């Protein structure tokens, strides 16, 4: 552990790309970006994708870019969260990549802790615990502070409570491809991680229970709405991978689906 601590203090520590999709979150954006730029790990490429915002989000991004040269802004017409993340991935130069939603924020040791987990266990993905917040009040602490690590394969990963989200995780860059489904307005994270699992069944995942990601639940967000079409699209993903796992007689992948 001491060697890893020394490595993380060096100037040549690996670059982490941080993808932040932004759409009409002017009231929350400062808190999010401040938590990233003031983190204890400095070798970051901070990719903010302005997905056609019509509020003051664009101006706030320009303000932060002037303050911190690590910030890169991509401005597009509104194409949705999935394509915003895809655009961020396409610009990522880091050895590792992580996703932060623009109304959420991260712990001051978020990046360094997740990177330690990947290095310690030669893992492909590192996962942390989270704290869920509503109206600036903590409503559901998912994990108690605990720096102990758990190394697991894909079958155990599929049982994690936050397996279906891309936030709260650090991925090796080669795993993070621009394959978010633009047609999905909700549950796109689940479909994304499902594709990773089926494409790389030998993935090594390391988990810390320490809550390092702050998930902000707000009325009117995508997670606060529900429509039939995205759920139908997700079902199609499940059906496709179920058929594939049965055809290949892969018991592990069948178990993950269940």
**Any idea what DSSP says for residue 174?**
G
- Residue 124 in contact with residue 200, Cβ under 8 Å? yes
Which helix H or strand E contains 44, and what residues bound it?
Answer: strand 44-51
Backbone angles phi, psi at 4, to 5 degrees: -65, -40
Which phi and psi angles does 134 have, rounded to 5°?
-130, 125
| Tokens describing residue 191 | 């479909």
Q: Where are the domains of the chain?
A: 2-257
User: Vertex 86, ends 183 and 13: CA angle to 5°?
Assistant: 155
**118: Cα within 13 Å, side-chain hemisphere:** 23
**Per-residue confidence (pLDDT) for residue 29, from 0 to 100:** 97
Token digits for 192? 């994304």
User: What is the pTM for the complete model shown?
Assistant: 0.83
Q: Determine contact, residues 200/247, Cβ cutoff 8 Å.
A: no
**CA-wise closest residue to 212 among 102, 109, 138, 103:** 109
Q: Distance (Å, rounded) from C-alpha 76 to C-alpha 85?
A: 12
Reading the chain (258 residues) residue by residue, the pLDDT tens digits are 555 555 555 446 899 999 999 999 999 999 999 999 999 999 999 999 999 999 999 999 999 999 999 999 999 999 999 999 999 999 999 999 999 999 999 999 999 999 999 999 999 999 999 998 987 565 555 554 555 788 887 667 767 777 779 999 999 999 988 878 776 666 777 778 877 877 787 889 999 989 999 999 765 444 444 444 556 665 665 665 566 666 666 665 566 665
Pick the CATH number of 2-257 from 1.10.287.610, 3.30.360.10, 3.40.50.2020, 3.90.550.10: 3.90.550.10
What is the distance between the alpha carbons of residues 65 and 52, in angstroms, rounded to a whole number? Answer: 18
Sign of CA dihedral 204, 206, 212, 218: positive
Task: With beta carbons less than 8 A apart as the criterion, state whether 154 and 198 touch.
Answer: no
């Amino acid at each position: 552990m001491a060697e890893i601590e020394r490595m993380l203090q060096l100037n040549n520590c690996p670059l982490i790309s941080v993808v932040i999709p932004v759409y009409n979150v002017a009231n929350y954006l400062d808190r999010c970006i401040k938590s990233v730029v003031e983190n204890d790990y400095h070798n970051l490429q901070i990719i903010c994708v302005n997905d056609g915002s019509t509020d003051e989000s664009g101006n706030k991004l320009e303000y932060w870019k002037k303050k911190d040269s690590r910030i890169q802004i991509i401005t597009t017409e509104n194409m949705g969260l999935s394509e915003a993340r895809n655009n961020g991935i396409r610009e990522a130069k880091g050895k590792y990549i992580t996703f932060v939603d623009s109304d959420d924020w991260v712990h001051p040791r978020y990046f360094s802790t997740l990177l330690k987990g990947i290095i310690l266990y030669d893992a492909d993905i590192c996962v942390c615990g989270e704290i869920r917040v509503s109206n600036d009040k903590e409503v559901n602490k998912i994990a108690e502070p605990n720096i102990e690590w758990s190394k697991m394969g894909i079958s155990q990963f599929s049982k994690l409570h936050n397996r279906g989200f891309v936030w709260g995780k650090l991925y090796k860059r080669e795993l993070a491809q621009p394959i978010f489904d633009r047609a999905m307005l909700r549950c796109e994270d689940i479909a994304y991680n499902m594709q990773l699992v089926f494409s790389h069944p030998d993935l090594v995942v390391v988990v810390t229970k320490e809550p390092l990601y702050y998930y902000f639940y707000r009325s009117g967000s995508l997670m606060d709405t529900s429509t039939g079409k995205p759920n139908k699209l997700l079902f199609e993903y499940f059906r496709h991978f179920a058929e594939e796992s049965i055809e290949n007689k892969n018991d592990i992948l069948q178990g993950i689906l269940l």
